[in-house]
Amino acid sequence: MGHAASPTRYADRRQRLETYFDRTAAKAWEALTSDAPVSGIRATVRAGRDRMRGTLLGWLPADLRGARLLDAGCGTGALAVEAARRGAEVVAIDVAGSLLKVARDRAPTDLTIDWRVGDMLDPRLGSFDHVVAMDSLIHYDAFDIVEVVKALAERTRGSVAFTFAPSTPALRAMHSVGKLFPRSDRAPAIEPVAERLLRTLIAGAMPAARIGRDARVGGGFYISHAVEVLP
């Protein structure tokens, strides 16, 4: 591909994300993912995330009994809970222990979800029928995204669905002026990715895989593009 993903770069960015969520923005993200009132900017992010979560859940079978699902970058756990409600054996992992605590506290007590703090690429997680990585790869460039998706696909029988930040004039403008969040709790930079480049890299790295559905959700200060890879 002419550019290999760097394990060091991936690990460094993952560490920065862990620090951001655990030390800087835990309270902000707990509020964002709740029903609590938030600012106009965060309200558009909340609405966009809700739409994207609904899209990704719509790509999964309505009946997930007997299926093992990885929520890769589960955050406060809304997608993991819905998948468990459908009967899936869910492993929900995130780098941020603070978000996992919120997820555990919010999850219905009648659901069994394997909540873990760690790396979504940890081989000890085992194999899955479906993997969903919603907005957990938006801080990585196209080359690193493809390497992560490839590693996940190698132990997935059904589908790997993930989102990336599409390279659009609106997104580039928002990030250039730094308006997504106040400076005090702004996340590590989101990496706008060209969709054509991403598709080309996927085809080159995973020639046996097929790209299935895709969908873009945009509104206000939220822009994200979902892609389904069928190994």
CA dist 199 and 211 (Å) reads 8
Tokens, residue 56: 């990704």
pLDDT of residue 75: 92
Tokens, residue 194: 């060209």
> Does residue 177 sit within a domain?
yes
> Does residue 104 sit within a domain?
yes
Name the domain count of the chain. Answer: 1
CA dist 120 and 230 (Å) reads 18
> Does residue 17 sit within a domain?
yes
Give the contacts of 148 (CB within 8 A, at least 6 positions apart). Answer: 5, 10, 120, 121, 133, 137, 140
Residue with tokens 């994207």, as numbered in its chain: 52
> Does residue 90 sit within a domain?
yes
Q: What is the pLDDT of residues 124-155, one digit of tens each?
A: 999 999 999 999 999 899 999 999 999 999 99
CA dist 54 and 48 (Å) reads 10
> Does residue 48 sit within a domain?
yes
Amino acid at 152: L
CATH number of domain containing 217: 3.40.50.150
> Does residue 171 sit within a domain?
yes
Domain of residue 200: give its range.
7-230
> Does residue 97 sit within a domain?
yes
Provide mean pLDDT across the span 54-64. 98
Residue 177 has pLDDT above 70, yes or no: no
Residue 160 has pLDDT above 60, yes or no: yes
| pTM for this model (two decimals) | 0.84
